[in-house]
Structure 1
Amino acid sequence: MSQTPIKKEESNDQDDKFEFKKYINEGKLPLKADNPKKKPQLGTIQANQPIPSIFDNLFNLFKVINTTYTFLYLRNSLTITFPLLNSSVKQSLKKELTIGDLSQLREICPQIIELNYKSLASLALEINKNVYTDLNPELYTGSTVSQSSEYVLVIELLETQERSSKRRRREGPTMKANIQRQKLDFNNLKKAIELRNQKFLQGIKEYIKKCQLTELDPTQQLLTQSRKNQPVPPDSPSIPNDSIENCNLNTKACSIEELLNEIASESSYEGQIVQEALHTYPAVEAQYGALSRPLSQELINALYTSRNIEKTYKHQADAINHLWNGFHVIVSTSTSSGKSLIYQIPILQSLLEDNQSTAFFVFPTKSLAQDQKKSLIDILSYMPTLKNIRVDTFDGDTPLESRESIIRSANIIFTNPDMLHQTILPNANRWYYFFKNLKLFVLDEAHVYNGIFGVHVAFVLRRMRRIAEYFGNSQYRFVSCSATIEDPLQHMKKIFGVDNIKLINYTSSPSGSKKFVMWNPPYVDPKHPDDGKKSAISEASKLLIKFAEKRVRTIVFCRVRKTCESLMRLVRQELKTKQKGDLLSKIQSYRAGYTVQERRKIESEMFNGKLYGIIATNALELGIDIGSLDAVITIGFPYSLSNLRQQFGRAGRRNKSSLAVYIVETFPVDQFYLKHPILIHTQPNAELTLDLTNEVLLASHLQCAAYELPINIRSDEKFFGNQIQDICEANLEMVEESYRPHPKYLPFPASQVRIRSVSEDMFTLVDVTNDKNVILELLEPFRVALTAYEGAVYVYQGKTFIIRLLNINKRIITAHQVDVEWSTLQRDFTDVDPVRSLMKKTMHGSTNIYFGAVKATLHVFGYFKVNKQKDILDVVDITDHPVEIDSRGFWIDVPWHIIEVLSLKKINGAASIHAAQHALLSLMPIFISNSGNDIRTECKAGEKEYKEAKSERRRPSRLIFYDNCGDSSGAGLCNKAYEHTDELITMAIERIESCDCKVREGCPGCITSSKFEGGVCSGEVLDKVGALILLKMLLCQHVNLDIYADGPEIDSYHALRTLIPSC
């Protein structure tokens, strides 16, 4: 391959010593680079191979830009645009600077140089206009920019060295806005410029060496890649075909093995695949079973015509046979094993034998119900005998004028637990014939019914059984389907309150092989592990784009909405930067909160093959059919093994080979499975939690039951348990020897008993950009407090919005779309206080652990504007609207002598407690199945804990946790965690001691949890050593204090100044 000749420019080397103050005062800029007497020399990379001239020229160019940029940045503004930089350097260069030049510089050293197009509207928000009063306005907007363009290229040279994490924690992030006010002498300024020059020089050497190792011509590679990745404005009308290289879009997706081999052979691969964790689930051949009764020929024909089904799999046949033999059935099998046919065949056969038969199909979400309804109607369309059978949806969107007709004539109703509770059961008399003819009651996705929501649904179903029996029907059967869960038989018994159940927990449907890959992000700098690892989001972005290029249909699961939107935003940016415009419309984000119309559109596009990738929260864990998927990428451990396995099951749903990639984050639970990868495949799922002894919830449902039918203690004990009499006597009204609702629940008790958050509690987020007034999504009050305060940067579908107005009374939030390069981080703290102890146990003879009622109060008093490097640009105060939660929790009172020991070591007691809490919190998913933020703790703010003035917020020396879901009676999750406190503390000690991080503030691998990811906690107040000492002393372990360095506090008083004894 021949090199492209490049004419070498004349060097401008001469002594450029100048007076810093003179140039600043006169507003002039130095035109030369650094001192030639100390000019770094490129030298040679390999023997007899001189440096190509293009790299020598680019090094000289970078030195000029580096010096000029630094003085522009210090004197003028936070933002250096291309027109401004070009105007300042062209005199020295004797030519115009081009975007191609900058693209080549970035290709060599992307860790130093960033090029991004920003909208003029976002710059207007970001920049202090007074800065530019002495500059030509064209230098800012750019005379070379098209009048129709709303974007300008922004250049940023990044720092070569960051402060240590210790300094960053103690001093707080730097404020970039104040950099021009720092007192820098000439020597320090010169040093900063030279450091960047040296970094770029090293980048040249590494670039050439990398090309030589892969037998590529460095000059040709530089020219090709820089043209390919040259930035273009987002509003550019088209992308040149010769710079796209067709986006590598194949007409056919490559195989999983080919894809992995290609990834591992790329120069950017850094050994992320954990070899010892590789696991292949072999392909499984089908096993068929026979039904014990013959099906009608019409049903056989319909199954074959609509689904190409000729025979049933063994697990399907066994389940159907059990139903016909009078048993209830729980089906706990892998994803895409044909569970829906287990209830579709019996009800269709029953309708052929008796067209008055009815069935309830209950699903936790509307989208899943609609998906299954479509599937059933598809079969019915081939059964002329059942042409008059009516299948309907009965949910909150069903028009009032249609409901009476549905009640009178529908045979199969798709609904959800909320409608059953609020509308169907309270009006049971209107449903008499439906209950009288009920043959089948289906509860799909049984694993969803966990915690407080599960307890509510269990009591709703007992009310349903009671009404059906009153109407003379006890012959119907329950069918419940679930992902693979721990002890599904016991779970169904708790949910329905019945015993004659048969369990189907084996899968006989065919499946392709599935490759499991654990992906461990590499260190940012392998020579400096303390700098941390590359983010899981950036790794996921690269993988997703790679998969999309190869037409490997992929779903990416994120734990929280914020991660989902951040990844979508990063994917958009990378596709624009790489000019892979053909893929921009092929990847979408999907999560709860989007409007129904938006979600149905995304589901349809994925099903029809129009999308190559979806970035989702667990909203798509459930069995919505979005077509055949080839790969799943899971970012971080998703709260439980059951969730992880459910997500893996979404790929390969059409018997194809598939790929499951688990990107390990640095949180303790991820590190636990990184150390023990085999447990991902062998460890039992965490237990689901259903606390049916919750008398508060039972009392509220007895109010509803008494409204539906007067309660008779003797006959109703079998539904609600033997505690019913005491609860009725205390909470209901005795009328004519039976119990009726208490007057305070009238006229309609169900409206006062909420089984989960409902829409009237929500805030509506509205896009008011250009007066469009489009609803984006609905937000819970707690989420509003953390993410949608006035001034917050909010991300939706990868697009950024500024929250303009928060109307608490009308529950309306307005947002304006704008491109900004900064984000916001709330300034907050949470107070969690015990209200009443219900249980107590003593650990190791001295430490008391309590379970009981707690109150949590969240205070958001302001926010930071933060750039991508996490530097603070501005600090803003806002009006605090405290959010209160009454719940259940558990707490450990830390004996004061432990705090005194920490103070003698000058270790901050509050930071030690906070770190210990998050270390325990991060490990709870090993024992408890929850939704991530279902359990929370008291979080501390650096502004409150580290301020010099005496703090008014002095908190008890206590580790405390609470259920963040449900009502004042909690969700039963903390009750389960309370049972495992010994194991949690022991595991936390092991995790901290085995973590390799060297900083007191710890890392996500030891004392920080995924709560930081979702913005629930800022993670400022942490001390790893203090947490370790505290937890060991709680277990009465011997602690050799001499082996631990003293903490950062100046004396023992400052170490405990924000704490008081817990008892």
Structure 2
Amino acid sequence: MIYKLFASSNLHRFLNFPLELNWLIALDMVDTPVKQENDDLCLHEIKNESGVSFSKPQKTRKPSKKRSHEVELESTRLSPALQTLFGVFKIINTTYTFLYSRNCLTTTFSLLNSSVRQSLKRDLSVLELSQLKIIVPDLIELDYKSFDSLAMEMNKNVYADIPKQIYSDDQSFQGSSYVLTVCLNQTVESSIKRQKREGPTMKSRIQKGKFDINALKKEIDSRNTIFLKHLQEFINSCGAKSLDPDKHLIQEAEKTIPSPPDVIVNPPSKIGMDHEQKAPSSIEDVLVSLTEESTYEGQIVQESLYQYPAVEPRFGTLKRNLSQSLVNALFSSRNIERMYTHQADAINALWENLHVIVSTGTSSGKSLIYQIPILDELEKDIESSAFFVFPTKALAQDQKRSLMDVLSFMPSLAHIRIDTFDGDTPIEARNEIIENASIIFTNPDMLHQTILPNHHRWNRFFKNLKLFVLDEAHIYNGIFGVHVAMIMRRLRRIAEYYGNDRYRFVSCSATIEQPARHMNMIFGVENVKLVNYTTSPSGAKHFLMWNPPLVDKKNIQSGRKPAIAEAANLLIYLAERKVRTIVFCRIRKACESLMRLVRGQLKASHKEYLLEKIQSYRAGYTVEERRKIEKEMFCGNLYGIVATNALELGIDIGSLDAAITVGFPCSLSNLRQQFGRAGRRNKSSLAIYVVETFPVDQYYLQHPMLIHTQPNAELTLDLDNEVLIASHLQCAAFELPINEMSDSRFFEGNLSEACSTHLVKKENNLFFPHPKCLPFPAVQVQIRNINEDMYTLVDVTNNRNVVLEQLEPFRVMLSAYEGAVYVYQGKTFIVKTLNIPRRLITCNRVDVEWSTLQRDYTDIDPQRNLSRKTLQSANINVFHGTVSVALHVFGYFKVNKQRDILDVVDIVDNPVEMISRGFWIDVPWHIVEILSWKKINGAASIHAAQHALMSLMPIFAANGGNDIRTECKSGEKEFKQEASERRRPSRLIFYDNCGECGGADLCKKAYKHIDELTIMAIDRLEHCGCKIREGCPQCITSIQFEGGICSGEVLDKDGALILLKMLVGQNVNLDLFPDGPEIDEYHALRTLIPT
């Protein structure tokens, strides 16, 4: 029967399917009312149409044995209507499975209708699909896709006419530009697998192969059995309620018939409103009801439950009296009558001519510590001035509004100007700001490139400077922190030039290690007052860890459900109950994937009323889009926001009740700050850490109390960085000629030697910039990883021409190449064109069930050795220095949800190159040879060892997972049959992703802790329970696999363990390790060369 379906429906014609009749017969399609005589006719038709010759089947066929589900069908005695519905499902099930097996990316209503029409002599109805969806909601997905989207999918991203047969039958909604598509999810019991190619050495994790026919048959049977089971449950449920199953099914299906987005059937505001939950009385009630949900499977880690008790306020006393005008303004604007103790202590220290750093938790009133002193100064001296420096424009605008609120209640200072001076400030407005503003909100970049080089225009401001505020001090870490430290020294030098030593520095920070030392290094000052205690009130804070459940409880090797999926469920659960929640994801891709899951689940469960209540927020969005989201959150219009660390900073988005962190972020300090975003009201709050399977997550899962007791990772500032110091000396010499004697108090190190080496000495023993740095040295010094050559991503669907976001060149190579599937705000787009000269990327909105993975490799080579150490337990050198990095992207894969490859695309492009800081360990060749004796692939062992070390680096260095990278191996290059032209040194090597001058020099921190990292990695590899040669997320896999940066094809856990143990001098019993998959010693090391 099945061959009749496909032959007559002509599916093979426009889908380019080879019609393999024998294969189709092997599936043994369900019996249908077709006469046997027609079989011969079908065979002749097939032969004439396809040109393929088949043997004619006998007219008398042996009756096949009845399958279990057919026996069950007879025993259940379904009504005729339900029997017909089951027959329709079987046809759809088999047709869909066939199409899926042949890499059909999208199955439309019309494709299925052709099969039903040929079999049942009538058309399939959308109502029947809706009925099937009611019976098995988790098995069937119905969705409308635009015609453009379908064209992109079926024509490999090239616009062309699609045969009318694909969509002409879909007449449910006349005039719609959308096509109904159907997707059947695979069952856990019988997941379709492709037959994998066996390579001569190791298996690749992602292979493009053929489907196993037996697996297809098993999947069809499994879906049929599941359908019957749910159908019986539906009948029983109707019987318990005295309902007619046939009528009740039709009534429910009519309510949920899908409609295309451009056709409004019912007002969307009414959909799902009956199911809207009432706000809970407390967070404690939320936790109780959460454990009573049917989806709860014990995910809460009991050992992690922790409660920070509510804190009562403590008040302090100011040592000076504020004016009545200022007192009234504080009360009128913020209802403030008294200062908390930490606020009073900090303000008193400023009045005692001390510099102050405030390192306290979120929402502790830090901004008043610098707002009150400057307003007090302005009342006494109208000429007073202040710089307020913030790392982001959004944060500066937020704090500017806060200060102006207070100032609006002070008539005596009504004439005071408060202005923003940043890159968006119009050129024509800048002179007036310089001449008249009293308080300037700016950023380090403007100080560096505009204000300091033109200080003669700012002489009034510098002469009267009373306060310099540097907020979010913990941001100034690593190389970016060194840049800012040099800018602060240049600023101090200029202020002294104008005769001003009366100003004070104020710095605010999240909780960090040794904050006073950090401030000293940033500003180069000694008399620092530390305020690191909070006396403001706060509600109780509940903390818990959420461990995703096993996919199959009976099989621990099945792995755990995705953390992102668990976070999506939690967010929806909390949003339904109006618990205002923020979800933090480590990377942009995870943020968009989670948002896509949330949107899909809300649509599937008919809770569309929540779609506009949940938004995503991350860097890359346009300024207008981010301001809109911030306003919506602040006004309480949103119940949920999915963000990257762009919202870790203190932007005021209103009061939040819960914070969810998906996976370990950059550091413990980041984790704690994310938790601090919830609980801004004096109410109980909730913090949930959704654990991923990466080693650093598993480390804290085993030691949950360390989250509350372990010290924060120290911030790193290398003030001996010769390259950076030399560049800022050029800037300083341009601002004012350098006197090596008098200026030595501003710059660390041997100033005389640095000036002689990098500057030009002229009259009066003064040093001036080198001619190669003129005319403007500051313009040549980028202080952070901000690339002016950003690419603009534009949505050109239906000629919309809407700017979506800005992308860095490195990110374009990895995610926005031509043909790539790009996710934005949970919606999918396909990149249409990439115009490099114009820095322009165009894309089209599509709904696709597949994604793209780049095919790439990276070459990292040492350039200059800056320092060296040896591993403590062995005579192995570890080097730290500069490295060259070259990223080569040579194509991409199209992959489905199961990560099966649907297509392989080659592209030709130039590599992206940069110079960065890193560290490396040259692996002695005798270790590689020992691995080859065991037939263990040397490149796979090195690669696995690199990821085992890198996955644990966030414990010691504030690393967002992608901030430190390594030289990843490509299976296509490593496992080629012929001799490889790409042979790499036997070396473990790591580098800072942001480059030499834009990164945080995190590699130096990891380099200092390499001994501890190596021992921890060995312990993790030895005690991980997985038996997989490629390892698992708990021992080898790092966040780079999640972000798509590394495919994870070339890994060997055993080889990594042997290699690391030998590096630190531990004894290794090779007999305990099985031989590897290589055929001989040559193949085990053929892509490596000695260092």
In the aligned structure 2, how far is the partner of 1:970 from the partner of 1:593? Answer: 18
1:786 aligns with 2:839: no
Deviates more, 1:986-995 or 1:941-950: 986-995
Mapping 1:440-451, distance limit 5 Å: 440-451=467-478
Paired position in structure 1 for 2:191:
161
Paired position in structure 1 for 2:924:
895
In the aligned structure 2, how far is the partner of 1:102 from the partner of 1:93? Answer: 15
| Residue 204 of structure 1, CA deviation | 5.1
Code of the residue aligned with 1:302 in structure 2: it is A
In the aligned structure 1, how far is the partner of 2:888 from the partner of 2:422? Answer: 36
Contact 1:689/1:973, CA 8 A, preserved across alignment: yes
Unaligned runs of 5+ in 1: 1-9
Paired position in structure 1 for 2:292:
265
| 1:879-920 superposed Cα distances (whole Å, 9 cap, x missing partner) | 222111112211111111221222222221111111110111
1:936 aligns with 2:960: no
Deviates more, 1:245-254 or 1:326-335: 245-254
1:391 aligns with 2:418: yes
| Residue 314 of structure 1, CA deviation | 0.8
1:983 aligns with 2:1012: yes
In the aligned structure 2, how far is the partner of 1:381 from the partner of 1:678? Answer: 46
Contact 2:113/2:169, CA 8 A, preserved across alignment: no
In the aligned structure 2, how far is the partner of 1:232 from the partner of 1:524? Answer: 33
Contact 2:308/2:540, CA 8 A, preserved across alignment: yes
* Cα 1:720–1:317 shift into 2, 3 Å: same
Paired position in structure 1 for 2:7:
none
* Cα 1:67–1:749 shift into 2, 3 Å: closer
In the aligned structure 1, how far is the partner of 2:432 from the partner of 2:938? Answer: 66
| Residue 466 of structure 1, CA deviation | 0.8
| 1:303-346 superposed Cα distances (whole Å, 9 cap, x missing partner) | 00010111111111111111111111110000000000110111
| Residue 302 of structure 1, CA deviation | 0.4
Contact 1:288/1:508, CA 8 A, preserved across alignment: yes
| 1:733-773 superposed Cα distances (whole Å, 9 cap, x missing partner) | 11111111111111111111110134523222223333333
Paired position in structure 1 for 2:855:
827
In the aligned structure 1, how far is the partner of 2:985 from the partner of 2:941? Answer: 13
Mapping 1:910-925, distance limit 5 Å: 910-925=939-954
Q: Percent identity?
A: 63
Matching residue within 195, 201, 206 for 2:225: 201
Paired position in structure 1 for 2:894:
865
In the aligned structure 2, how far is the partner of 1:446 from the partner of 1:211? Answer: 64
Contact 2:480/2:998, CA 8 A, preserved across alignment: no
Contact 1:1008/1:1019, CA 8 A, preserved across alignment: yes
Code of the residue aligned with 1:761 in structure 2: it is D
1:957 aligns with 2:986: yes
1:704 aligns with 2:734: no
Is the partner of 1:1011 in helix, strand or coil? Answer: helix
| 1:844-872 superposed Cα distances (whole Å, 9 cap, x missing partner) | 23322111221111111111112222121
In the aligned structure 1, how far is the partner of 2:320 from the partner of 2:195? Answer: 70
Paired position in structure 1 for 2:648:
621
| 1:435-459 superposed Cα distances (whole Å, 9 cap, x missing partner) | 1111111000000001111000000
| 1:796-836 superposed Cα distances (whole Å, 9 cap, x missing partner) | 22222222222323322222333322221111000001122
Mapping 1:509-548, distance limit 5 Å: 509-548=536-575
Contact 2:784/2:998, CA 8 A, preserved across alignment: no
In the aligned structure 1, how far is the partner of 2:242 from the partner of 2:750? Answer: 80
Paired position in structure 1 for 2:882:
853
Paired position in structure 2 for 1:973:
1002
* Cα 1:165–1:929 shift into 2, 3 Å: farther
| 1:686-720 superposed Cα distances (whole Å, 9 cap, x missing partner) | 11111011011011111111111111111111110
Contact 1:899/1:909, CA 8 A, preserved across alignment: yes
Code of the residue aligned with 1:170 in structure 2: it is K
1:1016 aligns with 2:1071: no
| Residue 232 of structure 1, CA deviation | 3.7
Contact 2:713/2:958, CA 8 A, preserved across alignment: yes
Code of the residue aligned with 1:674 in structure 2: it is L
Mapping 1:452-491, distance limit 5 Å: 452-491=479-518
* Cα 1:675–1:236 shift into 2, 3 Å: farther
Paired position in structure 2 for 1:127:
154
Is the partner of 2:1016 in helix, strand or coil? Answer: helix
Mapping 1:188-267, distance limit 5 Å: 188=213, 192-202=216-226, 205=229, 231-239=258-266, 244-246=271-273, 248-250=275-277, 252=279, 254-267=281-294
| Residue 1009 of structure 1, CA deviation | 0.6
Matching residue within 1050, 1055, 1071 for 1:1042: 1071
In the aligned structure 2, how far is the partner of 1:216 from the partner of 1:878? Answer: 61
* Cα 1:304–1:16 shift into 2, 3 Å: farther
Contact 2:657/2:679, CA 8 A, preserved across alignment: yes
| Residue 214 of structure 1, CA deviation | 15
Matching residue within 772, 791, 815 for 2:800: 772
Deviates more, 1:745-754 or 1:442-451: 745-754
Is the partner of 2:741 in helix, strand or coil? Answer: helix
In the aligned structure 2, how far is the partner of 1:263 from the partner of 1:284? Answer: 26
Contact 1:640/1:925, CA 8 A, preserved across alignment: yes
In the aligned structure 1, how far is the partner of 2:908 from the partner of 2:858? Answer: 16
In the aligned structure 1, how far is the partner of 2:224 from the partner of 2:270? Answer: 26
In the aligned structure 2, how far is the partner of 1:58 from the partner of 1:34? Answer: 27
Is the partner of 1:778 in helix, strand or coil? Answer: strand
| Residue 1013 of structure 1, CA deviation | 2.0
| 1:555-574 superposed Cα distances (whole Å, 9 cap, x missing partner) | 11111111112222222222
Contact 2:829/2:845, CA 8 A, preserved across alignment: yes
* Cα 1:148–1:935 shift into 2, 3 Å: same
Deviates more, 1:1026-1035 or 1:10-19: 10-19
| Residue 212 of structure 1, CA deviation | 9.2
Is the partner of 1:727 in helix, strand or coil? Answer: helix
Mapping 1:36-115, distance limit 5 Å: 37-41=65-69, 60-71=87-98, 77-90=104-117, 92-93=119-120, 96-106=123-133, 109=136, 112-115=139-142
In the aligned structure 2, how far is the partner of 1:483 from the partner of 1:465? Answer: 25
TM-score normalised to structure 2 length = 0.89
Code of the residue aligned with 2:574 in structure 1: it is F
1:363 aligns with 2:390: yes
Contact 1:254/1:552, CA 8 A, preserved across alignment: no
Contact 1:114/1:155, CA 8 A, preserved across alignment: yes
Paired position in structure 2 for 1:661:
688
In the aligned structure 1, how far is the partner of 2:149 from the partner of 2:242? Answer: 38
Paired position in structure 1 for 2:13:
none
Mapping 1:277-676, distance limit 5 Å: 277-676=304-703
* Cα 1:143–1:812 shift into 2, 3 Å: closer
Contact 1:231/1:576, CA 8 A, preserved across alignment: no
Number of equivalences: 1040
| Residue 93 of structure 1, CA deviation | 4.8
| Residue 621 of structure 1, CA deviation | 0.5
* Cα 1:794–1:702 shift into 2, 3 Å: same
| Residue 978 of structure 1, CA deviation | 1.0
TM-score normalised to structure 1 length = 0.92
In the aligned structure 2, how far is the partner of 1:165 from the partner of 1:645? Answer: 46
Is the partner of 2:1041 in helix, strand or coil? Answer: coil
Unaligned runs of 5+ in 2: 1-29
Matching residue within 828, 833, 836 for 1:808: 836
Contact 2:939/2:1087, CA 8 A, preserved across alignment: yes
| 1:174-223 superposed Cα distances (whole Å, 9 cap, x missing partner) | 54xx86xx7x8xxx46x633443235425654897899999987998988
| Residue 104 of structure 1, CA deviation | 4.8
* Cα 1:77–1:679 shift into 2, 3 Å: closer
In the aligned structure 2, how far is the partner of 1:25 from the partner of 1:534? Answer: 47
Code of the residue aligned with 2:920 in structure 1: it is W
Provide the aligned C-alpha RMSD in A. 3.4
Paired position in structure 2 for 1:6:
none
* Cα 1:34–1:1002 shift into 2, 3 Å: farther
Is the partner of 1:170 in helix, strand or coil? Answer: coil
